[in-house]
Structures are given as structure tokens and as C-alpha cells.
């Protein structure tokens, strides 16, 4: 079971790299800034649990940026680990379906806390904002599903 979780986490790390690459490509092509949603989400979560992110001004902002990026990595690896475990117990969808479902799971793992903490309301997002969210998550799903398929090779 541990090996399945580890394989899934590794696949999720590859998927996270694909997600980041597509996001950075979008930023480079459109000249758009990085999203501050990860930082604002962590700030809201810290407030919710009564924790304080230390530092002042730029130091605190930089800390939140780093924590936001780490949270994204943890989310991607965590979703991958769950998918690896599901695969261990027999869940083996066709590659395309697995890619779409993995992307949707990662997107939900990111967007549900954003909405639940009141950081942003996805119902108000523009079509461009949705595309900027969906496409990188589909890249995550494709990479994660492909790596899971490659490293599983029918093994449990």
C-alpha cells in the first residue's frame, strides 16, 4: 500500500510540474501577473485556525508566497497519492478519463477551499479566468494519469 501511495505522490509531483509549466507559459504569452489566490487562501486559513503568519510587510508577503507554492505542491502530490491508492485497489479508468478525473480532483482540491474560505467566488469568474484554471489542471491530470499508468504496469 505504501508503494502505491508513493507512486501516486510521484505522479502527482510530475503533474504539478506540468500544471506549473502551463501556468507560467500562460503568464509569459499573455503577460499576466501571477495569481495571489494561493497566498490569500493561506492567509484566510491561518485566520480561520487562529494561527499567525509571522513577519511584517514584504517579509510576510514573501513568506505567504512561498507557503502558497508549497501548498500547491502538497495538493498535487496529495491528490496523486490518493489516485495511486485508488489504483492499488483496482480503479483503472482509461487514460483519457483518468486524466480528466485527476485534473478535476486537483482543481476541486484547489478551488473548494478558495470558495469555502471566501477568498474568491468561482461563480463570478470570467470565461478567461476559468480557462486559466481548467487548462493547467487538465495538464496536471494528463501528466499524473500517464505517470501512474507507466509506473503501475499492472502491479499493486
Interval 114-136: pLDDT, tens: 999 999 999 999 999 999 999 99
CB-count burial class (<10 Å; 0-12, 13-18, 19+) for 89? exposed
pLDDT at 153: 60
Is the pLDDT score of 154 beyond 90? no
- Residue 41 confidence (pLDDT) above 70: yes
Query: Is residue 156 over pLDDT 80?
Result: no
Does 101 have pLDDT greater than 60? yes
For residue 86, the surrounding DSSP H or E stretch is helix 57-88
> Which of 68, 76, 100 has its CA nearest to residue 9?
76
| CA–CA gap between residue 77 and residue 75 (Å, rounded) | 6
Across 11-131, where does the E strand assignment appear? Answer: none
Amino acid at each position: 500500500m505504501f508503494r502505491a501511495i508513493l507512486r501516486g505522490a510521484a505522479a502527482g509531483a510530475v503533474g504539478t510540474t506540468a500544471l506549473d509549466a502551463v501556468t507560467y507559459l500562460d503568464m509569459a504569452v499573455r503577460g499576466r501577473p501571477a495569481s495571489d489566490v494561493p497566498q490569500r487562501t493561506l492567509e484566510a486559513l491561518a485566520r480561520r485556525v487562529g494561527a499567525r503568519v509571522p513577519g511584517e510587510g514584504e517579509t510576510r508577503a514573501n513568506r505567504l508566497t512561498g507557503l502558497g507554492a508549497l501548498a500547491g505542491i502538497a495538493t498535487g502530490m496529495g491528490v496523486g497519492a490518493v489516485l495511486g491508492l485508488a489504483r492499488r485497489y483496482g480503479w483503472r479508468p482509461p487514460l483519457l478519463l483518468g486524466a480528466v478525473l485527476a485534473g478535476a480532483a486537483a482543481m476541486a482540491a484547489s478551488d473548494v477551499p478558495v470558495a469555502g474560505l471566501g477568498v474568491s467566488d468561482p461563480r463570478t469568474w470570467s470565461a478567461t479566468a476559468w480557462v486559466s484554471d481548467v487548462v493547467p489542471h487538465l495538464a496536471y491530470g494528463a501528466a499524473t494519469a500517464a505517470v501512474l499508468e507507466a509506473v503501475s504496469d499492472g502491479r499493486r
